[in-house]
Structure 1
Amino acid sequence: MKFRGLAAALVLLGLTSSAHAQDGPPGETIWLKGATHRLKARAYRSPASSDHPQLVVVLHGDSPFRNPSYQYLFARRAAASNVDVVAVGLLRPGYTDGDGETSDGERGRTTGDNYTKDVVADVATAVDELKALFAARSVVLVGHSGGAAIVGNVIGTTPNLADGAMLVSCPCDLPAFRRHMFWKQWAPFWLLPVDSLSPLALVDRVRPTTQVQLLVGSDDELTPPRFTQLYADMLKARGGNVSVTILPGQPHDILLEPPVFASLTAMLQKMEAR
């Protein structure tokens, strides 16, 4: 079932809870230890799944104005539209979701300041827990916006954790992204120093065999395609397995768009063929 129009926009903005979205199998709430913080996750299984499914873990963006739940909806749809998959929406450290439940940790100012080593370690540890819990035969990480930056940092700091990564609307060059946002908003807090990691600075550590799929809207004013393309070019220069899709006429919030799900399915199938 496709998720269109106003309903998709409302879920993406966190105005409705994914718990009430009738779009696939019901989910299971799981609390993960993380490296230093307890994180909430919601898992969804394909209608037919084995004892060793493919695992998809999705991270939401910085969500400065709404409590994010669209990661659960993405996971729900991913499980419903693929075979032998467990898809998990992960609530990032310090965030409260649309159901009022909160992962431990610091949310930060949502200015690219919460992609720190501790946050990246929490996410990587949580993924490792999920990998063991579901005895997954392969792992794909999906991230939107700030979540994409964290995914990029995870595959850079723990290169053997995931077999594939989808970075959607990625601020992959963090310093350049923060300067861009300063000029866009004329807000001095974008110039405050941060301890965040930048995916662009970690390209040398990404495993060459990791499939990396990058998607961005051509009309994305927050994370313009140039940030995605630069990251892809640097990965390719180092022999990385990377591809880029620029969606014509699309803005920043594209995680729930059909081409993203189609790209995920293609990646999962390619892993199986390999």
Structure 2
Amino acid sequence: MRFSPGLLLAAALLGGCAVQRIEPPATGLQTRLFGESKRDAIRTLIVVLHGDAPSGERADPYGFAERAVDAIPHSAALAIIRPGYGDSEGNRSAGERGKGVGDNYTLDQLKQVGDAILAAKAQLPQARVVVVGDGGGAAIAADLAGIRPKLIDGIVLVSCPCTLPEWRKYMKKQAPRGGWQTVSSSLDPLKTAGGVQPGLRAAMLVGAQDKVTPDKFSRPYAEALALRGIATDYRIVPQAGRLTLNDPQVLEATQKLVSLLPEKQR
């Protein structure tokens, strides 16, 4: 079930009140909310972040959000269109998109996404927050877990370029004219891993045959989390190429992670 396109959550969400519209504070990001509408009914908020490709060339974050709330009881899902990107219906988020070559995981963009999540989280004090992202969305989720650790309880990272400088060097060799030589101020998830809170749970998925974000760019991040004592479900999916939000293994990993998170005290 879908609620109020382009909005975060209800302004009040008190029992019996009509859903009211609010805007993400100072971000202008396009968002869409799925699932439960009453604040007291929501135990898990799933935030969905899409990859770097333009709309039509990437997995649909709205579709994953809808599947997630159908599969996970007492949940709401907030799909966020990242800064500068648009959705399949022509709606566009404010901000700079960059060239989509690992150059748009900057502090400014992380702040916009993080503030949108915070606006939702503030209205749901009883809900765990799980961020699910593929590709660049996974890198943003990992960075947010490191620089704003109180914001997030769990992350599901799919095909993550989690060792960013090494991945960009690799992609420059794969596509010499693709703009990968551009200087970037993006945050490297491996370097932000030291800020991840010990109680966070993580799941990471990568296809065994992935030629864009092979496991050598996600495994070091999984190892860094494990060294910090963070429970990490790291999966290399056999025979699979590059995984996206469309792959059923992602929803299954999200369900498992949510089931293992402790409930928040009422």
- TM-score category, normalised to shorter length: 0.7 to 0.9
Distance 1:271 1:148, change over 3 A: same
Deviation (angstroms), 1:66:
3.5
Amino acid of the structure 2 residue aligned with 1:223: T
Match of 2:199 among 170, 185, 209: 209
SS in 2 for 1:260: helix
Match of 1:222 among 212, 221, 224: 212
Deviation (angstroms), 1:137:
1.7
1:52 matched residue in structure 2: 42
Question: How many residue pairs get matched?
Answer: 250
Deviation (angstroms), 1:260:
1.0
Deviates more, 1:228-237 or 1:35-44: 35-44
Counterpart Cα distance in 2 of 1:213 and 1:241: 8
TM normalised by structure 2 equals 0.87
Amino acid of the structure 2 residue aligned with 1:198: D
**Residues 11-30 of structure 1 aligned to structure 2 (within 5 Å):** 25-30=1-6
Match of 2:155 among 165, 187, 206: 165
Distance 1:47 1:64, change over 3 A: closer
Deviation (angstroms), 1:65:
6.9
Match of 2:140 among 117, 140, 150: 150
Deviation (angstroms), 1:270:
1.0
Distance 1:182 1:263, change over 3 A: same
Is the 2:202–2:257 Cα contact (8 Å) retained in structure 1? no
- 2:102 equivalent to 1:112: yes
Distance 1:178 1:48, change over 3 A: same
1:42 matched residue in structure 2: 32
In structure 2, list runs of 5 or more residues that go unmatched.
Answer: 9-22
In structure 1, list runs of 5 or more residues that go unmatched.
Answer: 1-24
Is the 1:31–1:38 Cα contact (8 Å) retained in structure 2? no
**Residues 226-237 of structure 1 aligned to structure 2 (within 5 Å):** 226-237=216-227
Distance 1:52 1:81, change over 3 A: closer
Amino acid of the structure 2 residue aligned with 1:217: G
Counterpart Cα distance in 1 of 2:107 and 2:24: 13
TM normalised by structure 1 equals 0.85
More helix as a share of residues: 1
Deviates more, 1:60-69 or 1:199-208: 60-69
Amino acid of the structure 1 residue aligned with 2:181: L
Counterpart Cα distance in 1 of 2:188 and 2:40: 36
Runs ≥4 in structure 1, deviation > 6 angstroms? none
Counterpart Cα distance in 1 of 2:185 and 2:172: 17
Deviation (angstroms), 1:167:
0.6
1:87 matched residue in structure 2: 77
Is the 2:147–2:195 Cα contact (8 Å) retained in structure 1? yes
Counterpart Cα distance in 1 of 2:197 and 2:88: 35
- 2:127 equivalent to 1:137: yes
- 2:260 equivalent to 1:260: no
What value does the CA root-mean-square deviation take over the aligned residues?
Answer: 2.1
Amino acid of the structure 2 residue aligned with 1:58: V
**Deviation digits for residues 34-69 of structure 1 (CA, Å, limit 9, x no counterpart):** 564211111111599853331000100001474657
Counterpart Cα distance in 1 of 2:188 and 2:240: 24
SS in 2 for 1:190: coil
Is the 1:58–1:71 Cα contact (8 Å) retained in structure 2? yes
